[in-house]
């Protein structure tokens, strides 16, 4: 297997690179039967830089992770049936420090976005994952983590940002 692909093994979840590993870890679960799918972590510096140039929807906002899903032929896959699942695990301190922010209080949980792509260019906006695809659980105590799970039937772009 090419080194740029993450070898997940059958049925395993994979930890994705996080730009803030001390605060947030990101896990991806591919659907059962998705053995032919590959997780591509090799975004070019130009792709990452382009994402960072798009104005964030609120402050603080950060690009948390990035990836692409490819089929056996190397083509990017954007629709998933059954859906992908992304799970964000927040430290106790990160969860409660951010919970004081207005943008967080509006939904009483972290907010997660993806960068929208139009043809071969990035749209100048981040799109929030719809509420119907998002669930959350705050940490119970300082020794536990807060969880945010996003179910993804369609992901037009691999850049994920949020708080």
Tens of pLDDT along 26-85?
888 887 666 678 888 776 777 777 777 777 766 667 778 778 888 889 888 888 888 889
Within the chain, strands assigned E span: 5-6, 13-16, 24-29, 38-40, 62-66, 68-70, 79-90, 112-118, 121-128, 134-137, 146-154, 159-162
Domain boundaries, position 30:
5-162
Which DSSP category does 129 fall into? Answer: P
> What's the structural domain count of the chain?
1
If you average pLDDT over residues 21-25, what whole number do you get? 86
Task: Tell me which range, 31-35, 117-121, 152-156, is most confidently predicted by mean pLDDT.
Answer: 152-156
> Do residues 151 and 133 make contact, with C-beta atoms less than 8 angstroms apart?
yes
Q: Is 144 a residue whose pLDDT tops 50?
A: yes
The size of the chain, in residues, is 163
pTM of the model: 0.79
């Amino acid at each position: 297997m090419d080194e740029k692909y993450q070898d997940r093994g059958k049925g395993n979840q994979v930890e994705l690179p996080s730009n803030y590993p001390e605060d947030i870890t990101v896990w991806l679960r591919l659907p059962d039967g998705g053995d032919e799918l590959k997780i591509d972590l090799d975004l070019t510096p130009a792709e990452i830089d382009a994402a960072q140039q798009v104005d964030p929807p609120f402050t603080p906002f950060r690009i948390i992770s990035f990836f692409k899903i490819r089929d056996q032929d190397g083509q990017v896959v954007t629709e998933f049936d059954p859906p992908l699942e992304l799970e964000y695990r927040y430290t106790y301190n990160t969860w409660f420090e951010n919970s004081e922010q207005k943008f967080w209080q509006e939904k009483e949980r972290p907010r997660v976005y993806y960068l929208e792509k139009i043809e071969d260019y990035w749209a100048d906006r981040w799109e929030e994952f719809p509420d119907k695809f998002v669930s959350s659980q705050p940490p119970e105590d300082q020794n536990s983590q807060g969880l945010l799970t996003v179910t993804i039937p369609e992901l037009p772009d691999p850049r994920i940002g949020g708080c």
